[in-house]
Amino acid sequence: MAGAALVEIRDLAVAFDGTPALRGVSLSIGKGESLGLVGESGCGKSVTWLAALGLLPRKARVTGSVQLAGQEILHAPPATLDRVRGGRVAMIFQDPASSLNPVHRIGRQITEALQLHRGLSGAAAREEARRLLEQVGMPDALRRLDAYPHELSGGQNQRVMIAIALAGQPELLVADEPTTALDVTIQAQILTLLAEIRRDTGMALVLISHDLGVIAETCERVCVMYAGRIVEETRTERLFAAPSHPYAQGLMAALPPIHGPRRPLAAIPGSVPEPWAMPPGCAFAPRCPRHVAACDAAPPPLVAVTPGHCAACIRPGAASARAPLSPELLPA
């Protein structure tokens, strides 16, 4: 990602009715890169992208900067955003059935995107829609153009969503929990499809997920988020080999192992603080096994632990004594 970042987010913060939801997030994505955002519900991983693309309701107060290839898009005029959204940056969501219009045929919904972003219409648009459906692995694509969303399964609807996202030939696809509503065998199909598309088109991918395993298999780099901030950022292998932030360590220890002896899971005690009752210092401090008095002074900044590996912790480093990592997550 050296030099030419495709998207550069700086100090992005979001507040709803004065309650902070996102508390200063900075990240960048290079051309063709795959970045994973992982965290629990309410940590701000989806809000980051909804805010960046201007998709939040008016009452949300958004500050900071979001640059797409050097051009500021945060608070940009609607005309600029219309070209960015669905064109240069596309987004897909968790529940495909509620993202599609139930009363329009699939074909019409794809050609609508083609007309808006590529100026195609008529037979050319229909032909391109068929090609897109084939690209996303839809069997019998020509006939499916005339199907309604309710006639398709959840996995097929998610393929349609991906086809619509690809219609604008985006440079970046933001996939927000794209497989959470799907069965595991269908999840495997969609993840494989996303990897293939990225290989074929050179598109960058941001994958938002609560599932570390999904991120591990799909992304090169990963940001772990907690309570509206990035707490750790590094290459994916590195996160699994040597997580530094106690929250990232805790997340991994809480995952039941597939191999090795079965023993009680090292659960993270307590729960995520409410946004209106954030601790003054590190938001993870009340649940942290390495907590010391200094943690409550101020939120720790995201600093490099080793080159290319950042953590927001004043005592970063090896796994704590309380939360042993399962052997499968350690390097062989």
Partner 1 sequence: MTPLLEARDLVRRYSMRRGMLGRPVEVRAVDGVTLRLEAGKTLGLVGESGCGKSTTGRMVLGLEAPDEGDVQFEGAPMPPPGSLPWRRQRARMQMVYQDPLGALDRRLTIGAQVAEPLQIHGLPADDARVHALLRQVGLRPDQAERYPHELSGGQRQRSVLARALATDPVLLVCDEPISALDVSIQAQVMNLLVDLQQQRGIALLFISHDLRAVRQMSHRVAVMYLGRIVEEGEPDAVLHEPAHPYAQALVSAIPDPSRRGNRIVLQGDPPNPAARPSGCAFHPRCPLAVPLCAQQAPALKPRPGDGRMVACHVAQGDVAPMRKAA
Distance CA 93, CA 225 (A): 19
Q: Is 328 in the site for partner 1 (CB under 8 A)?
A: yes
Q: Is 250 in the site for partner 1 (CB under 8 A)?
A: yes
Across the chain, where does the E strand assignment appear? 5-16, 19-30, 34-38, 60-68, 71-72, 89-92, 172-176, 204-209, 221-226, 229-235, 303-306, 309-311
Question: At closest approach, how far in Å is the CB of 282 from partner 1?
Answer: 16
Closer residue to partner 1 in complex, CB, 15/216? 216
Is 82 in contact with 37 (CB distance < 8 Å)? no
Site for partner 1 in 212-231 (CB under 8 A): 212-214, 216-217
Site for partner 1 in 265-284 (CB under 8 A): 265-269, 271-272
- And the tokens for 300? 């720790």
Question: At closest approach, how far in Å is the CB of 183 from partner 1?
Answer: 4
List 135, 156, 234, 249, residue binding partner 1 (CB under 8 A)? 156
List 26, 189, 201, 320, residue binding partner 1 (CB under 8 A)? 189
Site for partner 1 in 1-40 (CB under 8 A): 40
Q: Are strands 60-68 and 221-226 parallel, antiparallel or unpaired?
A: unpaired
Is 138 in contact with 55 (CB distance < 8 Å)? no
Q: Is 59 in the site for partner 1 (CB under 8 A)?
A: no
Q: How many CA atoms lie within 13 A of 76 on its CB side?
A: 20
Q: Which residues have C-beta within 8 Å of that of residue 258, sequence separation ≥ 6? A: 328
Question: At closest approach, how far in Å is the CB of 244 from partner 1?
Answer: 16
Q: Is 322 in the site for partner 1 (CB under 8 A)?
A: no
Question: At closest approach, how far in Å is the CB of 129 from partner 1?
Answer: 21
Question: At closest approach, how far in Å is the CB of 57 from partner 1?
Answer: 22
Binding part of the chain for partner 1, among 62-70, 73-81, 208-216, 289-297 by CB under 8 A, reads: 208-216
Question: At closest approach, how far in Å is the CB of 116 from partner 1?
Answer: 30
Radius of gyration (C-alpha) of the chain in whole angstroms: 21
Q: Which residues have C-beta within 8 Å of that of residue 331, sequence separation ≥ 6? A: 241
For 299, counting Cβ atoms within 10 Å of its Cβ (0-12 exposed, 13-18 middle, 19+ buried), the class is buried
Is 248 in contact with 231 (CB distance < 8 Å)? yes
Closer residue to partner 1 in complex, CB, 180/201? 180
Q: Which residues are near partner 1 by CB under 8 A?
A: 40-41, 153, 155-156, 183-189, 191-192, 210-214, 216-217, 236, 240, 250-251, 254-259, 262, 264-269, 271-272, 328-329, 332
